Amino acid sequence: MEEVIKFIENKIKALQSESDQIEKKYEEDYNPSDWSGGNFDDCYSDGVSDGETFGSLQAYKTILEKLNKGDVL
């Protein structure tokens, strides 16, 4: 179980770093259309990718919390 917890903690660190970079992008004068060069498909893909990062981060945090509490998944 310790290996699983360590793996999840490492994933959280990596995803948190990605998340911080995404948040910096949005803090600036962010315009999805400009950021993607006006290409709607790229703009959509960027949003999906960002959502996957934030969703994965939250899921790993929830799983780690349950494992630390001893809750059965």
Tens of pLDDT along the chain (73 residues) come to 889 999 999 999 999 999 999 888 777 777 777 777 777 777 788 888 989 999 999 999 999 999 999 876 5
Token pair for residue 73?
A: 């998944």
**pLDDT score, position 29:** 74
**pLDDT score, position 72:** 66
**pLDDT score, position 73:** 57
Torsion sign across C-alpha atoms 46, 51, 52, 57: positive
